[in-house]
Chains A and B, each alone.
Chain A
Amino acid sequence: MLEFRTQGFNGYSVKYSPFFDSRIAVAASANFGLVGNGRVYILGLTPNGIVAEKYFDTQDSLFDTTWSETNEHQLLTAGGDGSVKLFDINLSEFPVQSWTEHAREVFSVHWNLVSKDTFLSSSWDGTIKIWNPNTANSLTTLPTHSCTYSAQFSPHSPTILSSVSSDSHLRIFDLRTPASASNHLTLNIPIHTPPKPRMGAAAPVGIPPSEALTHDWNKYRDTIIATAGVDRLIRTFDIRAPAQGPIAVLAGHEYAVRRITWSPHLSDILLSASYDMTCRVWTDGSAMGAGGPAKQENMLEAQNMILGGGREMGRMGRHTEFVTGVDWCLFGAEGWCASTGWDERVLVWDCRAIMQ
């Protein structure tokens, strides 16, 4: 386990570079993001531990960051003042470009993983905006009408994107559809829908909607999306069957789940970071033989919403404040990941060490 201290700044998001296995970006904010500045760190993993290669200060808190998919030296930040900034590591101080169309805090930025020529940002002003790094204005604005904590492009299609927001809905947009009355919206899945009643188990009880804070596309199964949020449950959905409800529900976190991310190496493994100060590794039970014994447990406690044979495979409790960011390393041995939290620390660790 390697550690870096972001002195004076509380981490909000961590991302591995898609080009280098030894470079990490961390978005952090002073005073837990309440008031004050933001800072994005570019960290290098060296034989002597983690060193800060560079950092950029911003006027306002930073809540998310993402690496450019086209330029290995550039990265985006999501700011509390509604700005989206593009920084270049080779430059000294100021952003290359800054877009300020959002009316409120920007909470996520994400680069298009397929066409690589656009990126998106989502904000508390209830919109998702799609941008081209070379133009001054946004290309498209997609309304969600609620605080949108997380939005992502599909890793399998250049025109499909998704979002989760505080109204407890998972939305799928397809930019190929006409922008008529629906504004490219093609699916609107209520996350809090209980799973369909199934044989041998009591009918699930309806639960109230709660804010969804994070979601992620599965990197191998192109129709599977995992969501999580304030109700502490991680759910997976299949967008081919939107009315079916969740196909897996993973319970275990004690407070809201702030960030989840699917493994880039294994189709059933995902990693979560939560306000209960832990990171946990899960299998959603879709891999063969993964959920054998857990299924029997489910039958016993049927009133729980646990579904799909998934289970928690391990947890990492080294953070001493809320954990807000986690990401997998794309390279090398599978299992390496980085996490950050409000304890001003960035930890780089190997999942396999905690998995049982």
Chain B
Amino acid sequence: MADSLCGPSNALQNFQKHTSVDRTLQQDRLTSRQSPIQGFRSAPGPNAGILDPEFDAFQAGRSGPPPLQHGLPFHSPPAVAPQFAQVPQTPDWASDFQRLNISHPQPLPIQQHRSQPASSAPAAWHKNFLRQQAPAAQAPIQQQSMFGGIPRQTTMGWTGPSFQHTSTYGVMGGVPLSETAQGKQRVEEDVSLYDDAAFERAFEQAHRDAMLEVDEQWKYEALPRQGDEDPVLRSLPEPLYLMMKIAETARQNGLTSTGDLLDRLEMLEQTTQIGHECLPVVVQGLKYWLDHGVTGQDPASKAFVENLEGLLQSLNERIMSEYPLQTQTGVLNGPQSWQEFVNSLPLQDRSLYTRDSLPAPDTHQPVEEQQKTEQQFPRNDNDELAVTAGKLLERVADNQSEKFQKSQFLELMRRLRDREVVVQGDKMVEVSSTPCSTSPTPASVFTPTGNASASLSPNAYASRSRSPAVPAPATVIPDVDRSILDHAATDFELPVDSEQEFGVGGKDV
């Protein structure tokens, strides 16, 4: 804190600031608050699909047009070997794989050339290498393996244990090396064939593992909800799940099983102790369903609708009581709420909500709602304004000064409090028949703003306890000094000396 106030102290500090800038906010804006999954799926990169045939071929076990040569990095050191060794990372087989697809066998001269500086490396890595190779490598191939093993060895120096534990690499570590002694070209072919098989095996193993994991996950998820077939439903959180079950039932059975619905509703009612973050979602879902799903006219369904509305109201109250005051929540209505709700779900869940059996979220219904609330606004606003004006007048009621008694603003507050003047739409309208002397601009066009109550907030005026027995003016106002202009300069020409002093003459033009 202090050093930042005292300015940049050294270059390294600046560099550190540069690199440690948190850009997450900008990134948030770039994705315009869409879920990352959607962005990923709907906007494939420019290279999407290029590697697909290759990958298919790889999965099918064919050795496709691009020959797979996994053994290559372990026998023909790429030209970048020294740099490669400097990167402190585990051997990433995926990147090796990529590199290999585009690079054919390195020319031998380069290898030899590369081996020269490597063989003159300090003895430490050499011994290390020997120790690691001891179980598999024999003495006669030491020279050759060293030849081929330079990059791997350097890599081992960084990541020894993990390298050893990988079974695929472990196999390759021994056998192909012994064959390298016999002939470079053949060995490469053999190695590539062999590695194809090993690679496939490893991949299959990984695939099996992944499938097992998924199965276990599903088993676990399915435990409490075994009666459902739809895995998407099963993966939903509890309140959403319940809500969707209600909706599902209503959709499938029409309104024939209202009793069942009521049962489920009660279940939902019992779960109103669910987490706060789920409540708005539940409310939105219920509201939507109430608007679109329930259409029956029989008494049972009417009662059901009533129950649903009661539940909705209680949930709403719950939400509102937990939001801080003056927060514009915007979660309970608004034309886009359903769409936002759907958008907030993972992609695969979305089909559930936008399927044809559920009516598509039409916008006119929420718009109507919004219009309704807008119509209510003026009245609420006036109520609020009257209350605020009353509070404000209480605050200054003790002030007996002439100025406060004559204040036009306070007079307007009085009229607002007594409802002689109300804000209607975009105008301040006088309710009583007496002529309004306080409205300063009857002809001006008013526009509604939200700042009325806040601007009048009693907090803006300090409370002040003053005895009513002292009716003296709160402020001692000096008499008007009629000769004030006598000791004031009335010529507003810029004095020459000050102009020179401040050097402002140039700006003037």
Residues of B within 8 A of A239 (CB): 5
Q: Chain A residues near B87 (CB, 8 Å)? A: none
A278 B475 Cβ-Cβ under 8 A? yes
B22, B447, B459, B498: residue with the most chain A Cβ atoms closer than 10 Å: B447
B371-406: contact bitstring with A at CB < 8 Å (1 yes, 0 no)? 000000000000001000000000010010001101
**A55 an interface residue at 8 Å Cβ cutoff?**
no
- Taking A80-B451, A317-B477 as contacts, is the C-beta distance between A19 and B461 under 8 angstroms? no
Give 28 CB contacts A-B under 8 Å.
Answer: A1-B484, A8-B440, A20-B508, A21-B492, A21-B494, A22-B492, A30-B446, A31-B439, A31-B441, A32-B455, A33-B455, A35-B428, A35-B447, A36-B428, A37-B444, A104-B451, A105-B454, A124-B451, A147-B454, A160-B5, A178-B17, A186-B1, A254-B462, A254-B474, A255-B396, A277-B475, A315-B475, A321-B407
Are B449 and A81 within 8 A (Cβ)? yes
Chain A residues lying within 8 Å of B464, measured Cβ to Cβ, are: 254-255
Cβ of B447 and Cβ of A60 under 8 Å apart? Answer: yes
Q: Tell me if A34 and B484 are in contact (CB < 8 A).
A: no
A45 and B441 within 8 A (CB): no
Which residues of A lie under 8 Å from residue B489 when comparing CB positions? 332-333, 350
Tell me the interface secondary structure of chain B in the complex. Answer: loop
In the complex, whether A198 has a CB less than 8 A from a CB of chain B is: no
CA distance A45 to B396 in the complex (A): 36
CB of A230 within 8 A of CB of B452, answer no
- Looking across the interface, which residue of chain B has its beta carbon closest to that of A50? B492
Contact residues in A for B385 (Cβ distance below 8 Å): 34
Instruction: Mark interface residues in B1-17 (1 if CB within 8 Å of A CB, else 0).
Output: 10011011000000001
* With known contacts A8-B444, A30-B446, A255-B462, A176–B4 Cβ distance under 8 A: yes
A297 within 8 A of B: no
- B interface list, Cβ under 8 A from A: 1, 4-5, 7-8, 17, 20-22, 25, 385, 396, 399, 403-404, 406-409, 412, 423, 426-428, 439-441, 444-452, 454-456, 459-462, 464, 474-475, 477-478, 480-481, 484-485, 487-492, 494-495, 498, 502, 504, 507-508
Nearest A-chain residue to B457, judged by Cβ:
A211
Asked whether B452 lies within 8 Å of A34 as measured between CB atoms, the reply is yes
The closest CB in chain A to the CB of B14 belongs to: A176
Interface footprint category on A: 35 or more
A328 at the B interface (CB under 8 A): no
Could you list which residues of chain A lie within 8 angstroms of chain B, going by C-beta atoms? 1, 8-10, 19-22, 30-37, 45-47, 59-61, 72, 80-81, 104-105, 124, 147, 160, 166, 174, 176-181, 186-187, 210-211, 213, 230-232, 239, 254-256, 275-278, 315, 317-318, 320-322, 330-333, 336, 342-344, 349-350, 352-354
Contacts of B504 in A (CB 8 A): 19, 331
Give the 5 A-B CB pairs with smallest separation, nearest first: A317-B477, A8-B441, A36-B446, A350-B488, A180-B22
- Chain B residues whose CB sits within 8 angstroms of the CB of A186 once the complex forms: 1, 4-5
Chain B residues with CB under 8 A of A336: 488
Residues A32 and B409 in contact, CB atoms below 8 Å apart: yes
Cross-chain contact B487 with A72 (CB below 8 angstroms): no
Chain B residues with CB under 8 Å of A254's CB are 399, 462, 464, 474-475
CB nearest to A1 among chain B residues: B484
